[in-house]
Amino acid sequence: MTSTPLISVRRVSKRYPGVLALEDISLEVAPGELLAIVGENGAGKSTLMKILSGVITEYEGEISLRGQTVRFRGTRDAERLGISIIHQELNLVEQLSAAANIFLGRELRTPWGLLDQAAMDQGAAELLDQLECLIDPRAAVRQLRVGDQQLIEIAKALSLETGILIMDEPTSALTESEVARLFRVIDRLRARGVTVLYISHKLDEVFRLADRIAVLRDGRLVEILDRRQTDARAVTHLMVGREIEETDLSSPRQPGEPVLEVEHLWLPWPGHARGWRLEDISFSLRRGEILGIAGLMGAGRTELLECLFGASADRPAGRIRLDGQEVLFQHPAEARQAGVALVTEDRKRLGLFDRMSVGQNITLCTLDRSLRHGLLSRRREDQRAALIVEQLGVKTSSVNAPITSLSGGNQQKAIIGRWLLTQPKILLLDDPTRGIDVGAKAELYRLMDQLCRQGLGIIITSSELPELLALCDRILVLCEGRQTGEFARAEATEHRIMEAATMRRAMANVSLDCERFS
């Protein structure tokens, strides 16, 4: 630590009704340092970063920047002093283009005061090129998947040419190749002297990037560690205050008869040169089995689950059989009634009802089971929600607390609980551990294993291959909408999955090379 820290946090606390989110936090950050902030969901990481970036303006304590005490009235104040934040929860305007979102509030104008759309498109293209991604700056954000939206958030922060960059779970929706690109960007930023505060639940990222690691637990700073003098086990123990048991899922499960059969599934893509999002997908799922869906961004993982749940924008073709009966759901309500549940990838936009309480979010799909004499019984509703809160370890002051008062991981657990209350035959999980800490992940892994052993069929997508390898009985691999591999648990490896996940692209490159030399 230099004699003059870039950032000083002194005795900062933040209180919400019934919750002490931060208590007496003091720490310093050196110029050019990458300080990782780790802790379980609800530890206070995001709250602290929101204070440092001007999102939260009411708090106790003091913050100094370059030796001067500051009190931000909003994010613009922080940005003027060189601080920007990439939020875990995406903060984009869906109706606007990628370029418009990147320059929102700082639009480029011509000498005559008119909006300079061409300059913004060009500037956005250059920023996205730094991230080595192929997003059209003119594309509407609502048409993009969560991973692409996350890259736009990152480009937005880079456009500020910030000196202090706060990154809150920036890789939560990115594939491994996109994570590698982001790390190259971070390395280049640090070479320019940018200071980075980096929140992540992924300790491999923390140990790849950080100089020091600040551990928070229950709103308090437990310890700040030199990354070179500690290890992941020690950090995990400090995060949770206990040793996390290794989740042993090696005991073989005994899948039963097929509960889901998919044959020659196609999903059209109107207006696109390729013409389809999914082409000729066939597989089955048995009771008591976990089937993983692997693939890079744009492979069609989310689109496949949407087809199975009746949530795709375009009508798919092919055959889907549930318990031997052919189905083709026109609406998610039909899927739910048939025993299919989907936990979506985009929690904020498609999963949460932010004006409702924790309990109301959990019981939303099963209100008929809380009726008494034809009227909704709040007592019954609260009791059923409380059972899920206890079962999944949702950290909340009460089932009547606002769902927005929960951390991202606890919100996700509440959504999973909502669908478990429907007692589904098939549970579709689209990247369910995104933004969830190591302790909560272990709990979810054990829960999925338990549900499978009770006969539930589970299909899970994940951008983390080790997660799929640990959880799944079989792994189906997609690449650019096509099925390029299927591996049983015993034969699946990261190398084989990645080979299959890049197969179509590799073949396309070979075809282009042949055309050049023909």
Question: What CATH number is attached to the domain comprising 14?
Answer: 3.40.50.300
pLDDT band per the 50, 70, 90 thresholds, residue 508: very low
Whether residue 249 is contained in a domain is answered as no
- Is the per-residue pLDDT at 438 higher than 80? no
Residue 515 CA neighbour count, 13 Å, CB half: 6
447 & 476 share domain: yes
Specify whether 310 is located in the same domain as 438: yes
**Between 364 and 346, the higher pLDDT residue:** 364
- Cβ–Cβ < 8 Å for 283, 486: yes
To which H or E segment does residue 165 belong? Answer: strand 164-168
Instruction: Calculate mean pLDDT across residues 220-231.
Output: 94
Whether residue 480 is contained in a domain is answered as: yes
| Paired residues of 167 in beta bridges | 86, 198
Tell me, what's the pLDDT at 106?
Answer: 86
C-alpha of 118 from chain center: 32
Same-domain pairing of 109 and 216: yes
CA distance to 1, 297, 466, 491, per residue, from 495 (Å)? 41, 17, 11, 11
pTM of the model: 0.65
Phi, psi (rounded to 5 degrees) for 126: -65, -40
Q: Compute the radius of gyration of the chain from its Cα atoms.
A: 24
* Residues 374 and 281 occupy one common structural domain: no
Residues 281 and 409 in one domain: no
Query: Are both 157 and 201 inside the same structural domain?
Result: yes
Domain boundary among 371, 392, 423: 423
Domain match, 403 and 435 both: no
What pLDDT digit, counting tens, does each position of 446-475 carry? 888 988 999 999 999 987 888 899 899 999
Q: What is the pLDDT of residue 342?
A: 94
Quick check: is 248 in a domain? no
Pair 414, 443 in one domain: no
Looking at residue 238, its pLDDT comes to 87
Domain count across the chain: 3
User: Do 387 and 448 belong together in one domain?
Assistant: no
445 lies in some domain: yes
pLDDT at 291: 97
Hey, which residues does 65 pair with through a beta bridge? 7, 68
Nearest alpha-carbon partner for 210 in 43, 37, 409, 21? 37
446 in Cβ contact with 323 (< 8 Å): no
Separation between Cα atoms, residue 289 and residue 261, nearest integer Å: 13
In a domain, 136, yes or no: yes
Domain that holds residue 394: 347-423
DSSP 13-48: EEEETTEEEEEEEEEEE-TT-EEEEE-STTSSHHHH
Q: Which of 369, 404, 423 is the last residue of a domain?
A: 423
Question: Which of 394, 423, 452 corresponds to the end of one domain?
Answer: 423
pLDDT band for position 210 (cuts 50, 70, 90): very high
Looking at 173-231, list the stretches that DSSP marks H as alpha helix, in order from N- to C-terminal side: 176-191, 203-209
Are 179 and 109 within one domain? yes
250 is a domain residue = no
HSE, side-chain direction, 13 A CA sphere, residue 492: 24
Q: Is the pLDDT of residue 379 over 90?
A: no
Rounded mean pLDDT, 398-424: 86
Note whether 127 and 166 are same-domain residues. Answer: yes
The verdict on 133 and 208 lying in the same domain is: yes
Give the separation between CA 69 and CA 395, rounded to whole angstroms.
34
- Asked whether residue 506 is domain-assigned, the answer is yes
Residue 513, pLDDT > 80, answer no
1 domain residue, yes or no = no
